[in-house]
Chains A and B, each alone.
Chain A
Amino acid sequence: MKQGTTTIYPDVSDILARKAEGRREIAARSFGEKIAMVERLRERLAPFKRAREQRREAKSPGAAPDPRR
């Protein structure tokens, strides 16, 4: 039975505020800067995408690719 202890969690409001500020900063960038950013992200994410495809392929060999990908 749980005794009357109170768990104290850290205050993360400053972290969330910084993340929100970061999102606003990114949203305010130019169209070209955002495209360049996404192109760099795509390159960095490519290994994860390949790994996901390989996992799916291993689960159901020969199955059609998932249209949501």
Chain B
Amino acid sequence: MGMKQTLDVLNRMETDRIIRRYAIGGAVGAYNYIEPAVTEDLDILVSFDSNPGQIPPGLISLSPVYDYLRGEGYTEFRKEGLVVEGWAVQFLPVASDLDAEALAQAEEVEIRIDPTVGSVRTRVLRAEHLVATALRVNRPRDRIRIMQFLDEQAVDTDALCDVLARHGLKDAWKAFCARTGIADPCEVASNP
């Protein structure tokens, strides 16, 4: 039981067309770039094949996901997540242009967690999308994560500023920079 097995289940869901595409976001996604922080949750950004006539447009039902996983024996909920092989998996349907872009551009990675059980392929959101999403959610832990990305120089500033501008997050970013007392790297980049 562990992340390798959790990701195996998610990959099977994609193969079985329960979900169209998924990528790891949130705290675990950030592990790909920065010092990890302990978390119980695995945030999964997910898209679905459109199913005309089943539910009204604009509404997403996670029932097929939960039905599938219940059939596989996963029934325990912890907080908002369904526990799959020890990780509370929270499925977050694409709900904005930022989410759609983040999922489309997610990085394909092959990870080896335990040498005895082999590697697993998965996708992780890019650093600039993780930071932009953290800014949008904007809880204290999200702000700490953004600071880590900046402090560890783990995000491409130009790419980040581009994402922030295209998704209407410039004002939120300016407010974040003012609140944390850092020089706005997007201002610096545009006014050399």
Contact = CB atoms under 8 A, between A and B. Distances in A.
15 contacts: A24-B152, A26-B36, A27-B35, A31-B32, A31-B109, A32-B119, A34-B31, A35-B3, A35-B31, A35-B36, A35-B113, A36-B114, A38-B36, A42-B40, A45-B38
Given A32-B111, A42-B38, 5 more contacts: A24-B152, A34-B36, A38-B36, A38-B39, A67-B79
A41 interface: yes
Contacts of B124: 31
Interface of B: 2-3, 28, 31-32, 34-36, 38-40, 79, 86, 109, 111-114, 119, 124, 152, 154
A53 to B, nearest CB: 12
- What range describes how many residues of A lie at the interface? 10 to 19
A26 B35 contact: yes
Nearest to A43: B86
A69 B38 CA distance: 12
Interface string A38-53: 1101100100000000
B111 A31 contact: yes
A37 B111 CA distance: 13
B113 to A, nearest CB: 5
B113 A32 contact: yes
A48 to B, nearest CB: 11
A34 B38 CA distance: 10
A18 interface: no
A7 interface: no
A23 interface: yes
Contact of B2 (A23, A26, A39): A39
B28 A35 contact: yes
A35 B32 CA distance: 9
